Amino acid sequence: MMIKKSLHCPACGSADFLADVGATWDVERQEFVVVTNFDICTCNTCATDFDKPEERILAEEGTNN
């Protein structure tokens, strides 16, 4: 069973925020890859800037074993 976690704004609890990350173009993969962890997040709901999102553990859904 896979444990998932969600990240939330510590101010309002919204999961709708943007992480400011550093990415570089990977020629082999033909896509941007993140090379640095996020430093600053900005909430799309309350516009708060924060550096550490609140983590919540989610139970895996969809299996009834």
- Nearest distance from C-beta of residue 27 to Zn ion, angstroms: 37
Among 23, 45, 49, 58, binds Zn ion (CB under 5 A): 45
> Which tokens sit at 31?
């896509």
Among 7, 11, 15, 21, binds Zn ion (CB under 5 A): 11
Among 4, 5, 14, 19, binds Zn ion (CB under 5 A): 14
What DSSP string describes 11-60? Answer: TT--S-EEEEEEEEEETTTTEEEEEEEEEEEEETTT--EESSPEEEEE--
- Count of C-beta atoms within a 10 Å radius of residue 41: 20
- Nearest distance from C-beta of residue 14 to Zn ion, angstroms: 5
Contacting positions for Zn ion (CB under 5 A): 9, 11-12, 14, 43, 45-46, 48
